[in-house]
Amino acid sequence: AQSVTQPDARVTVSEGASLQLRCKYSSSGTPYLFWYVQYPRQGLQLLLKYYSGDPVVQGVNGFEAEFSKSNSSFHLRKASVHWSDSAVYFCVLRDTNAYKVIFGKGTHLHVLP
């Protein structure tokens, strides 16, 4: 069965520190993976997506993610976080039904100023 697991419900880091948000997936076929961000009282916005090719994909606002087939992972990274990065981050996997996606439960990132 297809699934997405974000093991960390909450992550707290200091401004300027590096960041990694973890995502593990289970997929029966080629995984199409996304990271979305939800700022307070807003809808979700796409950060980046991976379909194939270079396993490191660049996104908006300095975020990147690395796909690993051997580890079934798609971790999100940023070299230096800003307080404005405080938000909820969702890892998302396309389902076998191409019109449906599966959301992880989200990781709430709190950046200390």
Partner 1 sequence: GGIITQTPKFLIGQEGQKLTLKCQQNFNHDTMYWYRQDSGKGLRLIYYSITENDLQKGDLSEGYDASREKKSSFSLTVTSAQKNEMAVFLCASSISGSETLYFGSGTRLTVL
- Residues in contact with partner 1 by CB under 8 A are 9, 32, 34, 36, 41-46, 49, 90, 94-95, 98-101, 103-106
Residue with smaller CB distance to partner 1, 85 or 104: 104
How far is the C-alpha of 50 from the C-alpha of 44, rounded, in Å? 17
Residue with smaller CB distance to partner 1, 99 or 113: 99
Residue with smaller CB distance to partner 1, 82 or 105: 105
Question: If you search the block for the tokens 């200091």, which residue do you land on?
Answer: 14
Per 3-state DSSP, the chain is made up of helix, strand and coil in percentages (nearest 5) of: 5, 50, 45
